[in-house]
Amino acid sequence: RPVENPRLTSTGEQQAATLGALGIERPPRVAAFCPGAEYGPAKRWPARHFAALADALAERGCAVWLLGSPKDRPIGDEIVRLARHAKPRNFCGETALAQAIDLIAATDFVVCNDSGLMHVAAALDRPLVAIYGSSSPGFTPPLSDRATILSLNLDCSPCFKRECPLGHLDCLNKLEPQRVLDACLAACADGDAS
């Protein structure tokens, strides 16, 4: 018999407590970006692309929270620096895992690299856009019916390397922000972010 998808829960009370502890309010529309990937750079969509996506979402009235570990703080800072409009809020390294779970649960949708937080978002059943470069969704898919997987499926990918062996990282660099934005808009259950 098929194995059920893993599930995490975060109650409204837990989310409110986390928002209160962080001293923030939930914006009317908010997305979570999880820009890190522990395995290495070949699994990370470029900061400039995340920033362009944040700008496109800001133009549509959607705020962005950046989530990740302390190691992800520099890429989060770079995304904030590169964003031209309403700056994303960088929570990388500022939350405990339970708080990150509550923040993801409170969002309208999530954009992730192939990472641990991608699996958290899937288990929370959030609309999810999962970006794959050097890895394969055939091996580590987000286990959720609400996940959209984006991969260019180039001849050189998946290579399963930490760094691009060809030196160009085309599998992620050529995955344009507009394509991810289109997937985000489609992934929103009620289409409110469009």
The model's pLDDT over 65-110, given as tens digits with 9 standing for 90+, comes to 999 999 999 999 999 999 998 899 999 999 999 999 999 999 999 9
Residue 190 has pLDDT above 50, yes or no: no
Instruction: Work out the pLDDT band at 170, boundaries 50, 70, 90.
Output: very high
- Token pair for residue 192? 């409110």
186 membership: H or E segment, kind and range: helix 177-187
The answer to whether 104 touches 112, Cβ cutoff 8 Å, is no
Query: What's the predicted TM-score (pTM) here?
Result: 0.93
